[in-house]
Amino acid sequence: MTDHSKIVVFGGTGLVGSAILRKLVEKGYKNILATYHRSPITDHRSLITFIQIDLTNQQSVADFFKTHRPEYVFLAAAKVGGIWANNVYRADFIYQNLQIQNNVIHQSYLNEVKKLLFLGSTCIYPKNCPQPIKEEYLLTGELEYTNEPYAIAKIAGIKMCESFNLQYGTNFISVMPTNLYGENDNFDLEKSHVLPALIRKIHLGKCLEENNWNEIRRDLNKRPIEGVDGNAPKDEILRILDKYGIKITESDQLSVISDHFSAHYSPITDHRSQLTDHSSPITDNSSPITIEVWGTGKPKREFLWSDDMADACVFIMENVDFKDVISDQLSVNSKQLTTHSSPLTDHSSLFTVYRSQITEIRNTHINIGTGKDISIKDLAYLIKDIIGFRGGFYFNTSKPDGTMRKVTDVSKLHSLGWRHSIELKEGIERVYRWYLK
């Protein structure tokens, strides 16, 4: 890619796409397009051309490619959500993700895109596969039921990229990031993943501890919960918070609702100070607030800062080709592939090598992660310490745990020359500062 290569980021307003856009701008790329579904982001509007499009519509995607003729494609668009959303909206998750992938990948082939990067998820791996998870464990066992439709769609995307490469000589690479968090994350308590959900719930719990109704109303005005915004009566706000696991002990309900409560506790006027000022008028022992966490708290998860993920994606787009990913599966190395009788600039001779050897090419995707994990319980207490919440947690064991451990083996990524730089504590501090803006 050169500074003036035409680059498109499909799904440019989400957690993944917006991070890739920031990284591209930071690295000096000047010809960037980004698609959005509902509304564009405001960052770097003078440097990025935002285009609204329904990526599930085949004709709309075909028209986009015909008009704009992108050279490099980041496919970051997807319908995503947490355990509850994946389990309830199963048809939506498999249908919409398959449609998006089929349309974009096929049009990239038809329009001779030089390179495509498809982003999936580590939920593609079997529920009980060995840990840490290597790329070769794909399709070796049963998937986790709660996100099976989403996982199957993403596996189809991997196989589609792999198959187009092998049949047509394209240069489409699939990457599977671990659990991501960062700016522009989804903090919708009905649909968000565990880390952003905990940040928001613990933040609102701290606001209740401090009787900071100005911040509670600001939060709900920005992100209403089931239509309940900051203009709702206090009892309605408390009801919806309780439904989503931000609970007040019954003996304290009336005092929290009462207008006279503020005479005893002074609200924080500048919520941004909460990152450094953890003082609270309610001690650990007297806090009436409890945050519900789904499951036992024992499952362990790996988390990657979204800007690290974006850095890895741009690194791969700039430095790694499909031939580099599969060279160990062929009886020739990367140097021999490069010096094959036909140059591999368009990957045309890769197809010849593949067919001449009649070999099986599998597991061509690349894990992106840290290789480190943390239990949900420890994650909750880490976020609690960062935010300064004084209350407790209730681990609701009637709710599903999901896979008990999921941490990626990132040796393939390390061998290609990339490692993460932001550790979890620093990342949570960064995203909480962003959330408070």
Q: Is residue 435 part of a domain?
A: no
Question: Is the model's pLDDT at 253 over the cut of 60?
Answer: no
Distance CA 304, CA 389 (A): 24
Distance CA 23, CA 288 (A): 43
Pairing of strands 32-36, 7-10: parallel
Q: How many CB atoms lie within 10 A of CB 355?
A: 11
Task: Report residue 220 CA to chain centroid gap.
Answer: 23
Residues 178, 315 within the same domain: yes
338 or 77, greater pLDDT? 77
**Which letter does DSSP use for residue 123 in this model?**
G
Residue 355 has which token pair? 């067919």
Owner of token pair 């439709």: 149
Residues 173, 254 within the same domain: no
317-355 residue pLDDT tens: 999 999 999 988 875 544 545 444 344 445 555 666 666
Q: Is residue 326 part of a domain?
A: yes
Residues 91, 110 within the same domain: yes
Mean pLDDT of the chain: 87
Q: 159: Cβ–Cβ under 8 A, 6 or more apart, which residues? A: none
Q: Is residue 434 part of a domain?
A: no
Q: Is residue 309 part of a domain?
A: yes
Cα-Cα-Cα-Cα torsion 333, 336, 337, 340, nearest 10 degrees, comes to -160
Cα 188 to Cα 94, 185, 232, distances in angstroms? 21, 9, 18
Residue 273's pLDDT is 39
What's the half-sphere exposure (Cβ side, CA atoms, 13 Å) at 87? 13
Residues 308, 280 within the same domain: no
Distance CA 97, CA 121 (A): 12
Residues 320, 276 within the same domain: no
Q: Are 317 and 72 in contact (CB under 8 A)?
A: yes
Residue 353's pLDDT is 62
Q: Is residue 113 part of a domain?
A: yes
Residues 94, 229 within the same domain: no
Residues 86, 206 within the same domain: no
- What CATH number did the domain enclosing 417 receive? 3.40.50.720
- Domain of 162? 7-185+301-373+406-422
Distance CA 220, CA 224 (A): 5
pLDDT band at 220 (very low <50, low <70, confident <90, very high): very high
Residues 57, 159 within the same domain: yes
Considering only 282-296, 340-354, 392-406, which range has the smallest mean pLDDT? Answer: 340-354
Q: How many CB atoms lie within 10 A of CB 335?
A: 9
Q: How many CB atoms lie within 10 A of CB 343?
A: 11
Question: Is the model's pLDDT at 358 over the cut of 70?
Answer: no
Cα 393 to Cα 113, 193, 198, 201, 389, distances in angstroms? 50, 18, 11, 11, 11
Considering only 318-332, 371-385, 391-405, which range has the smallest mean pLDDT? Answer: 318-332
Cα 309 to Cα 18, 23, 313, 359, 369, distances in angstroms? 11, 10, 6, 32, 8
103-146 residue pLDDT tens: 999 999 999 999 999 999 999 999 999 999 999 999 999 999 98
Question: Is the model's pLDDT at 257 over the cut of 60?
Answer: no
Q: Are 427 and 181 in contact (CB under 8 A)?
A: yes
Query: Under the phi-then-psi rule, with left for phi > 0, alpha for psi from -120 to 50, and beta for the rest, what region is 115?
Result: beta
pLDDT band at 420 (very low <50, low <70, confident <90, very high): very high
Q: Is residue 1 part of a domain?
A: no
Residue 150 annotated in active site: yes
Residues 156, 289 within the same domain: no
Distance CA 56, CA 37 (A): 10
Q: Which of 156-165, 177-186, 241-250 shows the highest mean pLDDT?
A: 156-165
Residue 192's pLDDT is 85
In the chain, the amino acid numbered 354 is: Y
As a whole number, mean pLDDT of residues 80-90 equals 87
Residue 259's pLDDT is 40
Question: Is the model's pLDDT at 429 over the cut of 80?
Answer: yes
Return the percentage of the chain with pLDDT > 90, whole number. Answer: 73
Q: Is residue 2 part of a domain?
A: no
Q: Is residue 429 part of a domain?
A: no
Please state the domain count of the chain: 2
Residues 135, 55 within the same domain: yes
Residues 342, 363 within the same domain: yes
**Nearest Cα to 118, choosing from 63, 56, 160?**
160
Residues 54, 141 within the same domain: yes
Owner of token pair 């010096």: 339
Query: Out of 36, 125, 150, 432, which one is annotated catalytic?
Result: 150
As a whole number, mean pLDDT of residues 242-264 equals 63
Considering only 77-86, 202-211, 359-368, 418-427, which range has the smallest mean pLDDT? Answer: 77-86
**Which letter does DSSP use for residue 328 in this model?**
G
Furthest-apart CA atoms within the chain: distance in Å: 84
